[in-house]
Each structure stands twice: as C-alpha cells, then as structure tokens.
C-alpha cells in the first residue's frame, strides 16, 4: 500500500457486493514502470496531487506495483453478447483498484487496464500494448472535450516489458476513470449465474450509486430500466451527432451509467456514410455507424431480460412491463437525435418538417461523399466551397429551405451562428492524425500526441491553430481499419 501524500481517498463499495461478482486480484507487478503521459486536469478534479503522481510513486501505482491506501483491487465478473453471441466474460486484463472519493464527494472507479492475468483472462496474458493504451487516452479525452459522457484516462505507464501480439510491442497500463464499470453484461451475469437476491442486490447497489433519485419509488426496478433506456438513447444520439463509431457495441461494453466505454476498434467518420465500419472484426457491419441506434435498442432488450425477475413475480406481466419500457427507446432516441441536429443547424425551436430537412441534408452528404464534420463547419461559417456537395443543384434547393426555416425564428443571424459554432466541432480526432501521434509516441516522441490532445481539448474553439487538424486523410491513405488491441 502507498502512503497518502498523493491525495488518494479510496474505497471499494463494489467489493461489498456478493463475491459472485468479482475475484480479489492484485495487479501483476511490472519490471520498470514509467509514466508516459499524465492527465493533470483530471487529477485535479479527482483531488489528486499531480506532482507526486508523476514521480516514481505514481509510476508504481499506474504500473500496478503498488495499491493506493484504501484500495481493494479486484477483477469484475460479467457476461455479454459479443456480436450477438452470449458468453461468460469478466475483467481479463483489468483490475479495479477501488473508487476515488473526490473533494466534492463524488465517487469514481480507478481501474488499471493491462495489469496482468486474472481468473477471467481466457488464455490471454492480461497485458496491453503502449499504442492501444495511448489510443484510448486520445479518443476518450477527445470525447470528453466534445462533451460526450465517457470514461476518462488518467495516465498511461510503460511497464519496461514487451508483449507479443502480431509483433513485439512495448507493454503499458492505462489508468481508466469511470463513474463505474457496471455494464449490461454485469446484469446478464447476475441473471444467468446468480440467484434472484444477487440480482436484486446488484440493482439496489446500482440505483444507489447512479440513480439515487429513484429510491423510495414503488416500481423502482421498472423506473431503473426506463432511466437506463433514456440514458443510452441520449448517449448514442450524441455519438451520431459527431460521427463517432464505437466499433464493438457488445452488451459488456454498454455502461449502466450512460458513459461511453471501451475504445478499441472505434474511430470518427470522415466521409458521411451510414454503412461506415472501421473495426477489422466487424465483417458484417453489425456495428456500423447507421446501425448504432438499433444495436442500442437490442442491447437494452438484453438488459430488460436480465431484470425480468425484479419487474414482477408473474413472468408474463414482467415481460409486458419490459416491452412497454423498451417501446420508449425509439422515440427517445429520435427526440435526442433531432434535438442535437437542430442545434447543429442553428434551429432554436421545433417544427414538424425538421426531420425531413435534417434527413435531406444527410442524404445529400451521403450521395456526394461529403465530409461529415467539415460540412457542418462550412454551414456554420457560410463558407460553401471546396466540396462537390455545395455544387449540386439539390443542395441549392435544400439550402433555400434551410434559410426559409431559419427565417421563421425570432433569433438573429448572430444568435444562429453562435448556436451552430457551439454545436459543430472544428476538430475531431481524425484517424490519420491519431495514427501519426501514436507512431511518434511509440518511438519515444510524445510531442505530436501532446499537441493533438491540446487541439482536441477545445473542439468548439474554432481557432486558427486548429485549421491544419481539420483536413481529412489524403486519398492515398486508403481504407482505415482499427483493431481491438487485445
């Protein structure tokens, strides 16, 4: 155990659940831990001492050689539907150290990813490579900058050891921060391998931690289901607004808190196309950009199935209640999606024809191979050149309808511009820029990644410094593929 001059104020409430849900597991020590990158602003929010944590003391924690005082390291058990197939899972290369209690009393999981074998490793070595862990750092922090609920990255530590994947890689451990790591798959695990009382205890714990406002309600578990449904509808709508493709929307990668988790084969779309897939293992397009809303509903159906024993004693009645709750999802998603798209188009109020206006633009973008982010940026600043889209007669007709729509609201042109500027990012983590940063970082040059992170921290700033990061990859780059990094 470390001493407490780093600012750790740790607990592990999850360890007080039935031991069915976890295995106590100390991280496997590494040869020579060294902090490669550290998130000072996040550390401050957590009440941690950045200076101490960037020293050897911090490296020992982030590498898994020391456990902060008050921590109870464990590997969580969960199940999941992976590409539609149900299986027993669990933290195969991660250890939850505990929960940091922040100065304002909030509770955040501190998890080490890449910290060695656990009983759930399924034959793997439990380790992670430096490149994939730095990639999660970049994308998760970019998501935070965009204002999208997400797990965060506190640090990446190199281990002083190498791991074998397709090639030899530098070993690394990511320190991930989350509201919690409770997943749809955690509830599936409870429903399949636990007793009803285990499921109830897990639900009560989750409600107390994430939805305390529900405590005391008569149909508390039904209300809980509906809360999660609406949280996920809002989250996935936010992904769609910025062209984010998760890549591996298995049920074990859907959090109950409504945070984005697991940045393996994810990426942001350049050219708008609903069929876009980046993951090397998603050969059928199950998790394509355009499918994400539907998969969200499918995953929530699995969550509802897990909760059935708590919804009602009578199974048929429980199913009816679950189906009624799930029927709210499509409307909730559409409401959230259209609300965000209105903001991107400078619309302050609702009109019935807005859905047609929005889909009309998206269809034209798809037809003309337009860049998703840059199209909305061009509309924001009224710089309609340099794209085949803007030359199309159909776009001219659409633009006229949009201008007429803007004219039917009382807000000024300046108000419209400000609304659009605040909802259309100048920059996203372009795939070629991410790869450029990672290539340099694994060779020992962190400057490219640090510059990229600085740019991505304020995506709505629209500063001159961001301009060079706004360009899509050159045609010579070819199709982009991402990998799980396991």
Say how many C-beta atoms besides its own lie within 10 A of residue 212's C-beta.
9
- C-alpha to C-alpha distance for 173 and 112, rounded to whole angstroms: 6
Residue 78: Cβ-neighbour burial (10 angstroms; 0-12, 13-18, 19+): buried
Instruction: Kindly give, in sequence order, each residue whose CB lies less than 8 Å from that of residue 476, ignoring residues fewer than 6 positions away.
Output: none
Task: Give first-to-last CA distance, the chain, whole Å.
Answer: 29
- 260 phi, psi to nearest 5 deg: -70, 135
Contact 447, 440 (CB under 8 A): yes
Contact 141, 457 (CB under 8 A): yes
Contact 302, 312 (CB under 8 A): no
- 108 phi, psi to nearest 5 deg: -130, 130
Q: β-strand 79-82 against 85-88: which pairing, if any?
A: antiparallel
Report the sign of the C-alpha dihedral through residues 344, 376, 272, 483, in that order: negative
Contact 14, 55 (CB under 8 A): no
Catalytic annotation, residues:
252
Helix (H, G, I), strand (E, B) or coil at 50: helix
DSSP summary character for residue 150: B
User: Which run of H or E residues covers position 205?
Assistant: helix 196-210
Say how many C-beta atoms besides its own lie within 10 A of residue 156's C-beta.
26
Cα 232 to Cα 131, 202, 299: the distances in Å are 29, 19, 10
Contact 378, 384 (CB under 8 A): yes
Q: CA 107: distance to chain centroid?
A: 18
Cα 213 to Cα 53, 175, 209, 220: the distances in Å are 35, 30, 10, 10
- C-alpha to C-alpha distance for 387 and 379, rounded to whole angstroms: 12
DSSP summary character for residue 203: H
Residue 413: Cβ-neighbour burial (10 angstroms; 0-12, 13-18, 19+): exposed
Say how many C-beta atoms besides its own lie within 10 A of residue 315's C-beta.
11
- C-alpha to C-alpha distance for 254 and 407, rounded to whole angstroms: 41
């Amino acid at each position: 155990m470390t001493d407490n001059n780093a600012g750790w104020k740790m607990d592990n409430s999850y360890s007080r659940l039935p031991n069915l849900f976890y295995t106590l597991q100390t991280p496997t020590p590494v040869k020579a831990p060294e902090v490669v990158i550290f998130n000072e602003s996040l550390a401050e929010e957590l009440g941690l001492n950045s200076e101490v944590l960037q020293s050897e003391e911090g490296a020992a924690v982030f590498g898994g050689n020391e456990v902060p005082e008050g921590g109870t390291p464990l590997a969580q058990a969960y199940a999941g539907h992976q590409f539609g197939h149900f299986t027993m899972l669990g933290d195969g290369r991660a250890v939850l150290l505990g929960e940091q209690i922040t100065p304002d009393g909030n509770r955040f999981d501190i998890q080490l990813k890449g910290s060695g074998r656990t009983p759930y490793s399924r034959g793997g070595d439990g380790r992670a490579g430096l490149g994939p862990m730095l990639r999660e750092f970049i994308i998760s922090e970019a998501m935070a900058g965009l204002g999208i609920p997400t797990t965060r990255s506190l640090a990446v530590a190199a281990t002083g050891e190498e791991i074998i994947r397709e090639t030899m890689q530098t070993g690394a451990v990511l320190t991930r921060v989350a509201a919690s790591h409770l997943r749809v798959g955690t509830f599936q695990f409870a429903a399949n391998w636990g007793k009803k009382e285990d499921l109830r205890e897990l639900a009560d714990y989750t409600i107390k931690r994430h939805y305390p406002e529900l405590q005391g309600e008569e149909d508390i578990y039904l209300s809980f289901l509906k809360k999660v449904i609406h949280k996920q509808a809002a989250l996935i709508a936010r992904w769609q607004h910025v062209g984010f493709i998760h890549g591996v929307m298995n049920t074990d990668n859907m959090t109950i808190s409504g945070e984005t988790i697991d940045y393996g084969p994810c990426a942001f779309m350049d050219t708008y196309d609903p069929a876009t897939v980046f993951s090397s293992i998603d050969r059928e397009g199950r998790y394509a950009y355009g499918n994400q809303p539907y998969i969200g509903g499918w995953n929530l159906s699995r969550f509802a199935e897990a909760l059935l024993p708590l919804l009602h004693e009578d199974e048929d009645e429980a199913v009816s209640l679950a189906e009624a709750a799930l029927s709210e999802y499509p409307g909730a998603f559409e409401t959230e999606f259209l609300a965000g798209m209105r903001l991107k188009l400078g619309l302050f109020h609702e009109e019935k024809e807005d859905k047609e206006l929005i889909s009309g633009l998206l269809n034209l973008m798809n037809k003309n191979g337009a860049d998703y982010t840059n199209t909305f940026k061009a509309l924001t600043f009224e710089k309609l050149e340099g794209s085949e889209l803007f030359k199309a007669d159909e776009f001219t007709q659409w633009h006229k309808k949009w201008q007429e729509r803007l004219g039917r609201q009382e807000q000024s042109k300046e108000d419209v511009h400000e609304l659009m500027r605040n909802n259309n990012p100048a920059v996203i983590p372009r795939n070629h820029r991410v790869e450029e940063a990672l290539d340099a970082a694994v060779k020992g040059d962190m400057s490219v990644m640090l510059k990229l992170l600085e740019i991505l921290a304020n995506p709505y700033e629209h500063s001159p410094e961001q301009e060079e990061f706004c360009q899509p990859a050159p045609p010579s780059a070819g199709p982009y593929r991402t990998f799980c990094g396991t």
